[in-house]
Structure 1
C-alpha cells in the first residue's frame, strides 16, 4: 500500500487548503490526500476537524480554525502550518462564494462590502501570509480558486472580487517567478454540491430573490457547452494537477473549469 501511495503526484508536499470544511475545499483535501500530500486544513467552521478525521490514516492531516477574512487569521493559519511541518509547499485558496443573488442596484453598501470581504480578502491575506516562507525556501505553488462568474449576472460584487483574484494571480506570478514560486488559478463554473452545512448567507429573501437566483442558474447552464453543472471532483482534480509538479511550467494562468464557459 505504501508503494501505491508513493506514486501520488503530491507525494511529500505540504499542502495547505483553505475553506476545507465543505464544498470544493473539502473535495480538494480528499483528492490531495489520495495523492499523498501532507495536509493542513483551514476553515473557520468546526466541521473542518471532521474532514481531517475522515481522510485515510496514511494522510498526514492537521487542521486549524481561522477566520481568513482577517489578516490575523491568515497569519495564524500559516504560523500553525509552519509549526507543524516547517514548510508550506502548496497553498490552495478555496474560501469564497457569492452570498446574495440580485441585480447590482439591489445591493446595499453593506452587502457589497461583505461580498468583497468574503471572496477577495481571504485569498489576498493568505497569499501575503504564505509568501515570505515560500520566498525563503525558493519554491512554492499558490493555487487560487476564482470563478467564471466574472462574466455572469446578478452577482456583480462577487464577480468583482473574483476579477481581483484573477489579477492577483497574474500580477503575483510575474513578481514571484524569480523566487521559484508559481501562482495559478482555476475558474470553476457552476458546481453541484451537497446542501451546505454552513450556510453562505441568510438564504433567499422571498420569491423575488429566488427568481434572481434561478436566473443565475439558467445563465450558468446556458453559458456552458456541456449544458450542465460540474461535480466537486471535476473541480478538485484540475486544482490538484495545477498544484503538482506536472504543472511546473504553468504560472500566471487562470484555467476555466466551466464545461466550455471561458468566463473572462
Structure 2
C-alpha cells in the first residue's frame, strides 16, 4: 500500500483529505494539536495504518526532526500533501499587524518549503512520488486588504511551477490546487475567533466544503502514473473570480 504524508490534518481540508485517502493509502497525519490527531487516528485506524506526527510547520527543526524520526518503512512516502496554511487578519497593508503578516509567510511559504525539503529526499531515493500544494485563488488574483496573504499563496503557485520543472526528470509529479471560497475554520482563524464575522463570508450562497477539495486531491493523486494534473482551480457555483459572488441576500 502507498503512503501519503498530509500536513494540517487536525481540521478542514487536511482532515477531509485524510478521510478520503484512507481507503487507498497508509497515512502519516501531521498537525500541531496532538489531541485532534489522536481523534482522527482512532477514526481512521480501522481502515488503514496511521502514523501521527506532531509538529509546527513554522519550526524548521521540528519539521526535520519529525520527518527524519519516521520508522524506515514509513519513509517510503508516495504522496505529500502540503495543506497546512492560514490567513491572519483582513486589513490594509498599512494597518495590518506585522505579526499577522509574518505568520502568513512563515506558515504558508516557509512551512511548505521546510516540509517539502524534509520529505523530498525520500521521494528522490525511490525515483517517484507526488507533491500536492494547496494554494488559493488568492495566489492568482490579488485583492485589497490581502496583500501579504495573496503574496504567500502566489509564492505557493510559483513554487509548484518551479518544482514541476526541477523534478521533471525525477519521476515526481507536482499538482497545485487553488480553492475559492471553502467554508472551514479558515475564516474563524482569519478573524481571530470571531465566528459571527466569519460566517458572514459565506452568507447568501453555498460555499465549497472541505470534502470538495479533498475529492479533487484524491482525483489528482489517483491518476495513472503517466498523468500529471498540473493545476486545478475550484470555485463554488456562485463564485466568478476571487472577489465576485452572486449572493441571495
Asked if Structure 1 and Structure 2 have the same fold, meaning a TM-score greater than 0.5 normalized by the shorter chain, the answer is yes
TM-score of the two chains, using structure 2 as the length reference: 0.84
TM-score of the two chains, using structure 1 as the length reference: 0.80
2:207 maps to which of 229, 232, 249:
229
1:165 counterpart = 2:153: no
Structure 1 residue matching 2:232: 3-state secondary structure: strand
In 2, Cα distance between equivalents of 1:145 and 1:261: 20
Question: Which residue does the alignment assign to 2:54?
Answer: 65
Structure 2 residue matching 1:141: 3-state secondary structure: strand
In 1, Cα distance between equivalents of 2:144 and 2:43: 37
Give yes or no for contact 2:87–2:186 (8 Å, CA) kept in 1. Answer: no
The aligned length equals 236
Provide the aligned C-alpha RMSD in A.
Answer: 2.7
In 2, Cα distance between equivalents of 1:195 and 1:123: 17
Question: Which residue does the alignment assign to 2:232?
Answer: 255
**Cα deviation 1:182-205 (Å, max 9, x = unaligned):** 111101111123699x9567335x
1:156 counterpart = 2:147: yes
Post-superposition shift, 1:180? Answer: 0.3
Give yes or no for contact 2:75–2:122 (8 Å, CA) kept in 1. Answer: no
C-alpha spacing 1:171/1:147, structure 2 compared with 1 (3 Å): same
Post-superposition shift, 1:254? Answer: 2.4
C-alpha spacing 1:29/1:39, structure 2 compared with 1 (3 Å): same
**Cα deviation 1:218-251 (Å, max 9, x = unaligned):** 7xx89xxxx5310111110001121223474225
- As a proportion of its length, which structure holds more helix? 1
Structure 1 unaligned spans of 5+: 1-11
Structure 1 residue matching 2:69: 3-state secondary structure: helix
Question: Which residue does the alignment assign to 1:126?
Answer: 115
